[in-house]
Structure 1
Amino acid sequence: MLACRWAIEHGAGNRHVPRRTPRSLSRETRSLLHSCLSRRDLMRGAAFAGGGAALLSHLPAWAQPVSAGMAPLPTVSGEDITLKIARQSLKVDGRPSRAIGINGTVPGPLIRLREGQPVRLHVQNALDEDSSIHWHGLLLPAQFDGVPGVSFPGIPAHSTFTYEFPIRQAGTYWYHSHSGFQEQLGLYGPIVIDPADADPVAFDREHVVVLSDHSRMAPETILRKLKQQPGYFNYHRQTLAGLLAGRGQSLAERLEWGAMRMDPTDIADVTGAVYTFLVNGHGPGDNWTALFTPGERVRLRVINASAMTTFNVRIPGLPLTIVQADGNNVRPIEVDEFQIGVAETYDVIVTPPDDRAYALIGESIDRSGLARATLAPRAGMAAPVPPLRTPPVATMRDMGMDMSGMDHAGHDMSMGMRDFANAAQVERNPGVQTISPMPVDRTGEPGQGLEDVGHRVLVYRDLVALDRNPDPRAPARSVDVHLTGNMERFMWSFDGVKMSDKMEPLPFFHNERVRVNLINDTMMGHPIHLHGHFFELVTGHGDHAPRKHTVIVQPGGKVSFDLTADALGDWAFHCHLLYHMEAGMMRVVSVRAREGQA
């Protein structure tokens, strides 16, 4: 037991104050750590299977020891729903911290609706500050979209606001605050809308899986540290020992990147150094468990409700069949792993064949930690948790550079990255560190670190809409939007202009068809979300292009989508990395009727 305690305190089990990263531990210590965690989970499950089980009904949902048989997320439904926003305590892996929840839980309750019904959502703000709720991915009138300063004033402290709109769609969605850092503190929850007609996806059982990141450090402190020191939370920087061992970049590559003051290990701004990664409000040690009967088709509705974390999701030993993306049905595609950006949702079907436990793993993109849950035929079971994989290292391709045929890579890249002729509309200022001279469409790539994992990984080009798109018209015009930033100063923007600098809205006429080209001039991926609309990714699938509301634009890459601007009003358009949006990577899309148009 003493050995287990030492391993947990000095390894991945303590993610709030990591003394050493898991990759730096010896193989023996890592093996001991995972053995101890599994033993601890099994002991906890056994305890609650006995007399402790009688106490479950007296605990709030987030505090219940789910390895003993987790009750589903609390659910609200009907045409009149009341949601109360309030501060509360949240216990993660046994450690308490401050949070903001809804109806006393983090995540907030599952809102279950049916396509075609009306709904009135009465949101009570019990905080001493303004608040809001945005219904992410829902098609609704602009005044009920829930973005303070864009579509409504917000919900004042100790007051109630009623959102009222018809439900025009089906699928998996979510809701969250759009006020300050409340989303980071726990103000988010899932939405499931059942189709009016028969569901084309057959399944025997379903589980909602809400992935998120949580920190005991105040979000204002996190942002301040990011602005004070680039890579403050990056524990994966390259070392001399790594160079001597042949890990990471060569000496020449390190010197080249150093001369440009670029860090190839800067994959995520906020990492497992300060985050615990959650499943339905539970940390890796809590072992949130979803039950199944062997042979059942189990539908997992996976939602990335994190503030800053891109997750790579897999269930070792179990294939995943993707059946829905961002609430829209797609032709089933079988993979072993998929990358899910902040605010994306994926529905997957799994059919566990054996009477054993399976680990559901959401590994952070930089491999600094993971969210962990268990699929099991009985409560109290645990599956082996795989060790964290080798952290990815950025390449010239992530800089927007195809280096083939260049003799003096460093010199040529330095010139090209500053060549504003490739982005005429980008404002030249200290907030724009780089311009990608040769951005490429990366929708056929699996994402950073997943190129050579040895199994099937979902790429955007795999997604094909199950039904024909509602508007197959060709776009009448094209708009370029550059994703810009200065990673050293933690400054983020669109086209070099921050939202706080009173950036002009991006104008569209009602019902016009436009192609939007997102060009990433930074070496970090950005999940870009457009409110109030769906768009079709341009990936070669014609009138069956996948319809999404959020898309990851890979580092140095570009993504094109076709949009029908069919929702009148002002809509937020932003990077869904919370601290990037807060730092300025946001814009307003304004949809207006043409003169004389009804």
Structure 2
Amino acid sequence: MTLDRRALLRGAAAGGGALALSGLLPAWAQTGSPGLRSDLPTLTGPNIDLTIGHSPFTVNGRTATATTINGVLPAPVLRLREGQNARLSVTNTLDEDTSIHWHGLLLPFQMDGVPGVSFPGIKPRETFVYEFPIIQSGTFWYHSHSGLQEALGHYGPIVIDPAGADPVGYDREHVLVLSDWSFMNPHDILLKLKQSPGYFNRQRTTLAGFLNGNDRMSLEERRMWGEMRMDPRDILDVNGSTYTYLINGHGPQENWTGLFRPGERVRLRVINASAMSIFNVRIPGLAMTVVNADGENVRPVETDEFQISVAETYDVIVRPTEDRAYTIVSEAIDRSGMGRATLAPRLGMTAEVPALREVPNLTMKDMGMGGMDHGAMGGQSMGGMNHGAMGGQPMAGMDHSTMPGMASGMAGMAGMAQGSQPGGGMSGMDMSGMNMRDPENAPPDMEVGVGVDSIAMAPTNRLGERPTGLENVPHRVLVYTDLVSLQPNKDQRPPSRNMEIHLTGNMERFMWSFDGKKFSDGVEPFRFELNERVRVTLVNDSMMAHPIHLHGHFFELVTGGPAGHQPLKHTVNVLPGAKVSFDLTADNPGDWAFHCHMLMHMHAGMFNVVTVRPMDGVAS
């Protein structure tokens, strides 16, 4: 990299924000922290200046041009305090419009930073001033909501200290920004997905894998997948075949290092700022106590590994007592690559980096058949069924006649249903029980057409299940039902109505939508009355996980946990073939983005607006 450090410091000094002493070097140039605060470049104070532009970015010895804020990737930490007024002046030096969305912050909708929804965007060579009160504390982040700039490095962390005493005790902290980087332009990535949705999947099942047992599939399971042109390894649309997984802007070989003194309580603020990657995070040899999720405090729960979907945040406390190094692992859920960093008492120390674990196979539950009576299916579990080139979608709701090669595949399955494949995992199954739901029986608000190739037959609540790839690991794994709000929920009224929203798509065409309708088709917004209490159920009819994010609000996950202490979230990962319910108090008037935070899914149509009315006393 050729970024001029002196120019960076001059620019920061000229702005309204002061760089904290712990952040005098860009993220790529420094590791380790001798004091309490994060060692990333840090901006604080009531007035902060941010400049969006292009900067060279180097990882693994290759250099490309990134879209950055104040010249660094990730962008500087914004260190704010609950109760202050924030004034952030954002200058656009790009040749295209840009924006900043303050992810997870509760603020007036005009300051939310979504072009076309809450403001017009920031034109080239213009400055927009965001100003809003800080009414919360916790770990958050900020990123572009314009084009695909987020995938090019336009993101950074936010830490808001509480106005009073922090209920979380710790001696030192580090911010860990997890992200993905490709030297392929994100517009080219999206084009390749539209042309061939399995383009980046280099971990498909193979004949060699069948022969040596690596695929972990029986002959009949393999036959079924092959005839249906499906693959149980279609887990991430974009993966380690093109991505380098970063931690604080460092690739695995560059080994970002955070320091500790043995015996200290170290708070790790983990943010998934990636475009398309879900990570499994662990620190071999070190237990983690989860204390905060999406910026909201939770009752402490100890675990050994957690899955963090795109746009989620988790704060964990670790207490290393030995004078040794520990490896921080952020492994992609399809095991196609990992990010790696180190916790150590001194710079230069390293710990063993674990090998990538075996690629998981998707299952029947991911097909949306988790709630079916498997005993009625000839007693077969179909445990290996799922996903793939059939659009990677559940069989339910598919018009197989419209998909090349599917007629023969279904005929083959019918043969298996008649018991023509003795000894196979599908033998003796009555396939009539697996017919896809008639589109005429789809929910009344769902539009069924070329944009919807599947409807889950029996979606289930999977909040208490271990997530993809972690079902059988021998250690503790965090699940959503482990999360219990530290403070009582403010609104404990029962919901006055129910709303069901289906997460729909067509993988073959890489089209994504809510209720079968893409945002570009001119959809009606989801409407709420100000302060009404609604139970929203998300039903994932696809075979991809979708991290669904609502701007301007937190919602309470319906986990079945202690009454009045449901965990508050702004983003929830909805597993394939699953349904998730949350209770929402629509208490922030305005128009708010509601979308899948997989960047390519959002741009392919899985986006809508939540409108909260009336807006008495609120300027539109």
1:481 equivalenced with 2:446 (yes/no): no
Q: In structure 2, what is the Cα distance between the partners aligned to 1:569 and 1:493?
A: 22
1:563 corresponds, among 555, 578, 584, to 584
Post-superposition CA distance 1:530-575 (Å, at most 9, x none): 0000000000122100000000000100100000000111100000
Secondary structure at the counterpart of residue 284 of structure 2: coil
What is the one-letter code of the residue matched to 2:231?
A: D
* Separation in structure 1 between the aligned mates of residue 351 and residue 62 of structure 2, nearest angstrom: 23
C-alpha contact 1:341 1:552 (8 A) present in aligned 2: yes
CA distance change for structure 1 residues 59 and 530 in 2, over 3 Å: closer, same or farther? closer
Shift, 1:433, TM fit:
1.1
Q: Does 1:138 align with 2:105?
A: yes
| Percent of paired sites with the same residue | 63
| Equivalent position of 1:49 in the other structure | none
Paired with 1:295 and 1:503, the residues of 2 have a C-alpha distance of 55
Deviation at 1:595, TM superposition (A): 10
Calculate the TM-score normalised by the size of structure 1. Answer: 0.88
Equivalent in the alignment of 1:513 = 533
Corresponding residue to 1:125 among 63, 83, 92: 92
C-alpha RMSD of the superposition: 2.1
Distance 1:195 1:500 in 2: 40
How has the CA–CA distance of structure 1 residues 132 and 594 changed in structure 2, closer, same or farther, with 3 Å as cutoff? closer
Distance 1:567 1:381 in 2: 48
Flag the 1:245–1:513 CA change in 2: closer, same or farther, 3 A. same
Aligned to 2:254: 286
State the partner residue of 1:17.
none
Please say which of residues 310-319 and 394-403 is displaced more in the overlay.
394-403
Matched, 1:265 2:233: yes
CA distance, structure 1, for counterparts of residue 459 and residue 485 of structure 2: 26
CA deviation vs aligned residue, 1:487-533 (integer Å, no higher than 9, x gap) = 12111100000011111100000000000000000111100000000
CA distance in 1, matches of 2:574, 2:453: 18
Structure 2: distance between partners of 1:282 and 1:269: 23
1:181 maps to 2:148: yes
For structure 2, which runs of at least 5 residues remain unmatched after alignment? 1-21, 379-416, 418-428
How far has the Cα of 1:425 moved from its partner? 2.2
**1:424-503 pair list within 5 angstroms:** 424-503=444-523
1:165-314 equivalent positions in 2, closer than 5 A = 165-246=132-213, 247-314=215-282
- Partners of 1:69 and 1:379 within 8 A in 2: no
- Name the SS of the counterpart of 1:543 in structure 2: coil
Distance 1:261 1:507 in 2: 40
Any idea what the Cα deviations from partners look like across 1:245-266, whole Å, max 9, x if unmatched? Answer: 2233222122323444432110
Q: For the residues of structure 2 that align with 1:59 and 1:168, how far apart are their CA atoms?
A: 29
Once the two structures are superposed, what CA deviation does each residue of 1:316-355 show, in whole Å capped at 9, x if it has no partner? 0100000000000000000000000000000000000100
Aligned-pair CA distance for 1:416: 2.6
Partner of 2:26: 61
Return the offset for 1:176: 0.2
Residues 279-428 of structure 1 mapped to structure 2, 5 A cutoff: 279-402=247-370, 404-405=374-375, 406-407=377-378, 408=417, 411-412=431-432, 415-416=435-436, 419=439, 421-428=441-448
Partner-residue secondary structure (3-state), 1:354: coil
Match of residue 46 from structure 2 = 79
Deviations 1:63-110 (A, max 9, x none): 326389998111111111100000011111222111011011001000
The 1:373/1:410 distance shift into structure 2, 3 A limit, reads: farther
Which residue does 2:571 correspond to in 1? 550
SS at match of 2:436: helix
Unaligned runs of 5+ in 1: 1-56
* 1:115/1:194 contact within 8 Å kept: yes
Assess if the C-alpha contact under 8 Å between 1:67 and 1:380 holds in 2.
Answer: no
Letter in 1 for 2:474: G
User: How has the CA–CA distance of structure 1 residues 412 and 434 changed in structure 2, closer, same or farther, with 3 Å as cutoff?
Assistant: farther
Which region of structure 1 is more displaced relative to structure 2, 486-495 or 513-522?
486-495
CA apart distance, 1:163: 0.5
Mean Cα deviation higher: 68-77 or 133-142: 68-77
Runs of 4+ displaced beyond 4 Å: 57-60, 67-71, 417-420, 594-598
TM-score of the aligned structures, taking structure 2 as reference length: 0.85
Change (3 A) 1:412 1:201: farther
Contact 2:24–2:41 (8 Å) recurs in 1 = no
